[in-house]
Amino acid sequence: MPRILHHNADEISPMKRSSIVIVALIALIGGFGLSWYAHNSKPIELESGLWFGEQARALPEFELIDHNRQALTRDTMRGQWSLLFFGFTHCPDICPISLQTLADMLEAIDDVDVSDAIRIYFVSVDPQRDSPEVLAEYVKYFHPDFSGATAALDQLTPLTRSLGIAHTIRNRTDASPDYDVDHSAAIVLINPQAEYAGLFSAPHDPLAMARDMTRIVERHPL
Amino acid sequence: MTHGIAGLTLVLALVLPLNAFAELDITEARIKNLPPPVPVRAGYMSIKNLSARSVSIVAIHSDAFASVEIHRSVMQDGMMRMEPVDRLTIDPGASLQLAPGGLHLMMMHPAEATRPGDDIEIILQMDDGAEQRLLMKVIK
């Protein structure tokens, strides 16, 4: 038997040999291509949030005022990945936790192209107390790159309603300047086409969010 | 001998009330700082009841804040809200955590700007009228 095999191998001409090599190379490259395609066409799965994929939907038109007293609109969201948290500055527990989480998340992202593509917005649902000046001091306390924004409730509510973010003012009386604001603690993800693309529900894990945002932005670089 | 007993009594008289007040072992007492325009701070701590009886904290005072209340962050109808809590009851030997996202002190209207590193005295008032003083560290 070994003799016959040896004989057969001798019979392959140089011409045939090179075609085999070419076919093998094509198969190899095709294999890589297929696995690359399979990897990139697989839906993104997040460990700490929901990715809407094809279900991403356009934001309504809106106009907020940011911490520099500049307009913040749907068009501002184009060409960047945006994470929005809705809260109020007179919120001692949940809001500082969430903003600290977002700051820790940014610091935990190793890929600078990913972190540079992300903008973080704290949107106050308490415009009466949270002026742009208050918001400026508040957001910069957590991270120099954070933005704050707010708007009168009649401007704000169509946006929050379209995002499924609930908020309501409670216990407001003439007797005291203090009142509570109940609000959804979820973090909203807007894609570079200004569409609602994903949602991170509370409680938030900064490291898991950092991995999720890296998955998303590396798959869809700016 | 008489002197000895008198001395012991004096020592006990000095020591006992202090011990009676320190029924709670409080660690990690801290206040999360926020920038000056914001007049609220959250206080957190770990409380262990060292005594043989149940202890209830019914009020908290501090000269550094206009008011200090016990609050709990709760999720309701998809929204986070803060609910006041009347009292904190800790069973003998049990521990209670005031921690981010749950029970916390709602400290309102600081008398002056708070800075990380500051120590702020608060007084816990118990249901039997006893008081316990402690320092809370302001953290970034």
- B129: domain CATH number? 2.60.40.1890
Put simply, whether B116 touches A (Cβ < 8 Å) is no
Q: Within this chain, do residues A81 and A129 fall inside the same structural domain, yes or no?
A: yes
Kindly report which listed range (A46-50, A150-154, B70-74, B78-82) carries the lowest average pLDDT score. B78-82
Q: Within this chain, do residues A61 and A36 fall inside the same structural domain, yes or no?
A: no
Say if B89 falls within a structural domain.
yes
- What is the phi/psi pair of residue A139, to 5°? -70, -35
Q: Within this chain, do residues A114 and A171 fall inside the same structural domain, yes or no?
A: yes
Q: Report the sign of the C-alpha dihedral through residues B34, A131, B72, B60, in that order.
A: positive
Domain hosting B106: range is 24-139
Q: Within this chain, do residues A178 and A211 fall inside the same structural domain, yes or no?
A: yes
Say if B17 falls within a structural domain.
no
ipTM above 0.90, yes or no: no
Q: Within this chain, do residues A25 and A84 fall inside the same structural domain, yes or no?
A: no
* % of chain B with per-residue pLDDT over 90: 81
Q: Report the sign of the C-alpha dihedral through residues A86, A90, A93, A97, in that order.
A: positive
For the stretch A155-205, pLDDT in tens is: 999 999 999 999 999 877 877 778 999 999 999 999 999 999 999 999 999
Distance from CA of A137 to the nearest CA of B (A): 7
Q: Within this chain, do residues A122 and A172 fall inside the same structural domain, yes or no?
A: yes
For the stretch A68-86, pLDDT in tens is: 999 999 999 999 999 999 9
Domain count along chain B:
1
Q: Within this chain, do residues A30 and A118 fall inside the same structural domain, yes or no?
A: no
Q: How far apart are CA A106 and CA A36, in angstroms?
A: 28
CB pair distance less than 8 Å for B104 and A92: yes
Say if B10 falls within a structural domain.
no
Put simply, whether B71 touches A (Cβ < 8 Å) is yes
Domain count along chain A:
2
- A206-219 and A94-108 are packed helices; what angle lies between their axes, rounded to 10 degrees? 50
pLDDT, mean over chain B: 89
The pTM of this model reads: 0.83
Q: Within this chain, do residues A101 and A148 fall inside the same structural domain, yes or no?
A: yes
CB pair distance less than 8 Å for B40 and A183: no
Chain A positions in Cβ-Cβ contact with residue B34 (cut-off 8 Å):
89, 92, 96, 138, 141
Chain A positions in Cβ-Cβ contact with residue B82 (cut-off 8 Å):
91, 93, 180
CB pair distance less than 8 Å for B34 and A168: no
For residues A200-216, average pLDDT: 97
The band of A30, judged by pLDDT with boundaries at 50, 70 and 90, is confident
Domain hosting A187: range is 50-219
Of B81, B106, B107, the CB nearest to A182: B81
* % of chain B with per-residue pLDDT over 70: 84
CATH number of the domain residue A154 falls in: 3.40.30.10
